[in-house]
Structure 1
Amino acid sequence: MATAITLDRHRAEDVVQDAFAGLHRNAHRVSNPGGYLQRSVVNLSIKVQRRRHTATRYRPDQLPLSGIPEIDETWQAVSRLPPRQRAVVALRYWEDLSEAQIAAALDWPAGTVKSTLHRALAQLKKEIAR
Structure 2
Amino acid sequence: MDRHDGFREFVLARRQSLTRTAYLLTGDAHLAEDLLQSVLINVVGQWPKLSANGNPEAYTRKALVNQYISWRRRLRREWPSADPPEHGVSYDEESVDRIVLRQALAKLTRKQRAVIVLRFWEDLTEAQTAEALGCSVGNVKSQTHRALARLRTLAPELTDSRSLSEFQEVAP
What's the TM-score once normalised by structure 1's chain length? Answer: 0.82
Distance in 2 of aligned mates of 1:48 and 1:66: 32
Distance in 2 of aligned mates of 1:119 and 1:33: 30
| Unaligned segments of structure 2, at least 5 residues | 1-20, 158-172
Shift of 1:59: 5.4
The answer to whether 1:16 aligns with 2:36 is yes
Q: Percent identity?
A: 37
- 1:30-109 matched pairs, under 5 angstroms: 30=50, 31-53=54-76, 57-58=77-78, 61=81, 67-68=92-93, 69-109=96-136
Shift of 1:19: 1.4
| 1:103–1:109 contact (8 Å) kept in structure 2 | yes
| Unaligned segments of structure 1, at least 5 residues | none
Shift of 1:129: 3.0
1:124 alignment partner AA: L
Distance in 1 of aligned mates of 2:60 and 2:134: 13
SS at match of 1:74: helix
The answer to whether 1:123 aligns with 2:150 is yes
| 1:5–1:46 contact (8 Å) kept in structure 2 | no
| 1:103–1:110 contact (8 Å) kept in structure 2 | yes
Q: Deviations over 1:35-81 (max 9, x none)?
A: 1111001111121122222xxx3355589896323333223211211
**Aligned position for 1:4:** 24
Tell me which structure has the larger Cα radius of gyration: 2
| 2:126–2:140 contact (8 Å) kept in structure 1 | yes
| 1:6–1:46 contact (8 Å) kept in structure 2 | no
Number of matched pairs: 127
1:126 alignment partner AA: T
Distance in 2 of aligned mates of 1:59 and 1:18: 17
- Structure 1 residues 44 and 59, CA, compared in 2 at 3 Å: closer, same or farther? closer
* Alignment root-mean-square deviation, CA: 2.4
